[in-house]
Amino acid sequence: MKVLLICLEQEKEKALQLVSFLKKTGISSKTFLIRTRDEGRKIIEDYTHVAVLSALGLGWIFFLAGFFCGSHLPILVCGEKTIESVPAAYAFCFKFFNTETELHGYFADEYKASTKNEAVMETDHARQALLDRGIPPTDEALAECVAEDKVEEVSLFLAAGFSPDTKDKHGIPLLCISARNGHLKTLELLLRSGAQVNMVSEDRGSSALLDSAIVRHKDLVETLIKAGADTNIQSKEGQTALVVVVGAGDEEIVQMLVKAGADPDIEDSLGISARKYANLFKKSRMIALFNSNELDKAS
C-alpha cells in the first residue's frame, strides 16, 4: 500500500498525525501540502489510496472525481468540513469518514487485506514456479529436494506455504534429512524458516544433531548447537550424539558437544555411556575432557 495525503499547508498537523499512524501500521505514505484550496493539481501515480484531509476548492473536487472515474482508486475524505466541501452530485466518487479514528480503522483493515492478498499471490507464484520446473508441490517432492540439496527449490516450497517441519513418508523431518546428507545450506535455510531444532525422526528416533554426529559433519553440529539443539536426545538404541562421536573417535566434535552441555554418563541400550566407551577404547584425552568439564562446573 502507498497513500497520498492531500492537505492544506495551514492544517498540516492533520497530515503529520496520519503519517505517524500509517508508519506504525506499516503503510507507506507521501504528503502533498497545498497553500490554497484552489492551488494546482497533483499528478497522482503509483498510489493505492488518496486521502483528502482539508476542504478543497471545486477544481480539486472535479479533478479527483474525474481521476476516480478513470482509475477507481479509493479517494478518502476525512472530517466534517472536508466532507461538506464535496458536492452531493460527486459523492459517489469518494469514501467519507467523519473522524480520524474511522479513517485509521479503515486503513488498518485495508493493510491486513492487502498483506493477505500479497501472501496469497506469493504462494501461488511459488507453486507455479515449482510446476514450471516439473516439480509437484507435494511433501514428498519437498523431501526429495532437501535430500538433493536443492536450496532454491526448497525456498520455493517454503514460499508456497509448506512447513519447514514437514516429514517424509518414513516420518523423517526435513531437518534430519538435510543433516543425514550433510547439506549445510539447506539445513540453515530450514532453521531460518522456523524448523524445530529438536524434532525426532520416526525411524531412528534421532534428532538432526544426532544425525549430524553420525555423519560427523562438524559445521552441521556447530550450527545446530548454536540454534539451541538439545545435546542429550537419545535414539531408539539409547545413543546420544556424544556416544556416537566417542565411538567414532572424533575428539573435535566431542569437545564441541561437551562444551554445549552433553552428558557423558547417559547410558545407551547396552548400559554403556560415553565415558565408559572412552575408557573402553582408552581415549585418554576424551576422559580428561570429561573430567575437566566436571571440575569447571564444580567451580
Mean pLDDT of 103-129: 91
Which residue bears the cell 519447514? Answer: 164
Query: Does the pLDDT of residue 117 top 90, yes or no?
Result: no
Rg (CA), the chain: 31
Q: What is the pLDDT of residue 17?
A: 92
Domains of the chain in sequence order: 2-116 (3.40.50.2300)
Q: What is the pLDDT of residue 40?
A: 66
Say whether 114 sits in a helix, a strand or coil: helix
Average pLDDT taken over every residue of the chain: 93
| Residue pair 58/37 in contact by the 8 Å Cβ criterion | no
The Cα 231–Cα 137 span in angstroms is 34
Of 180, 156, 176, the closest CA to residue 166 belongs to 176
Please report, to the nearest 10 degrees, the dihedral formed by the alpha carbons of residues 72, 76, 81, 85 taken in order. Answer: -10
All three cell numbers of 283:
581415549
Query: Does the pLDDT of residue 216 top 60, yes or no?
Result: yes
pTM of the model: 0.68
Query: Does the pLDDT of residue 169 top 60, yes or no?
Result: yes
Query: Does the pLDDT of residue 299 top 60, yes or no?
Result: no
Query: Cα–Cα distances in Å, from 58 out to 15, 63, 87, 209?
Result: 21, 8, 8, 70
All three cell numbers of 253:
566434535
Query: Does the pLDDT of residue 149 top 80, yes or no?
Result: yes
Query: Does the pLDDT of residue 297 top 80, yes or no?
Result: no
Cα 7 versus chain centre, distance? 37
Mean pLDDT of 47-69: 92
Q: What is the pLDDT of residue 153?
A: 97
Candidate from 103-107, 118-122, 291-295 with smallest mean pLDDT: 291-295
The Cα 78–Cα 62 span in angstroms is 17
Q: What angle do CA 156, 157, 161 make, to 5 degrees?
A: 110
The Cα 92–Cα 94 span in angstroms is 6
The Cα 90–Cα 61 span in angstroms is 8
The Cα 148–Cα 204 span in angstroms is 21
Mean pLDDT of 261-280: 95
How confident is residue 263, by pLDDT bands cut at 50, 70 and 90? very high
How confident is residue 137, by pLDDT bands cut at 50, 70 and 90? very high
Per-residue pLDDT tens for 65-95?
998 998 889 999 999 999 999 999 999 999 9
Mean pLDDT of 12-40: 88
Q: Are strands 49-52 and 75-78 parallel, antiparallel or unpaired?
A: parallel
The Cα 277–Cα 173 span in angstroms is 29
All three cell numbers of 297:
562446573
Per-residue pLDDT tens for 244-255?
999 999 999 999
* Mean pLDDT comparison of 30-34, 104-108, 113-117, highest-scoring range: 104-108
Task: Considering only residues 22 and 36, tell me which one the structure prediction assigns the higher pLDDT.
Answer: 22
Percentage of the chain beyond pLDDT 70 is 96
The Cα 125–Cα 122 span in angstroms is 5
Task: Considering only residues 185 and 294, tell me which one the structure prediction assigns the higher pLDDT.
Answer: 185
Q: What is the pLDDT of residue 116?
A: 83
- Residue 97, CB half-sphere, CA atoms under 13 Å: how many? 19
Q: What is the pLDDT of residue 114?
A: 86
The Cα 196–Cα 181 span in angstroms is 18
- Residue 37, CB half-sphere, CA atoms under 13 Å: how many? 12
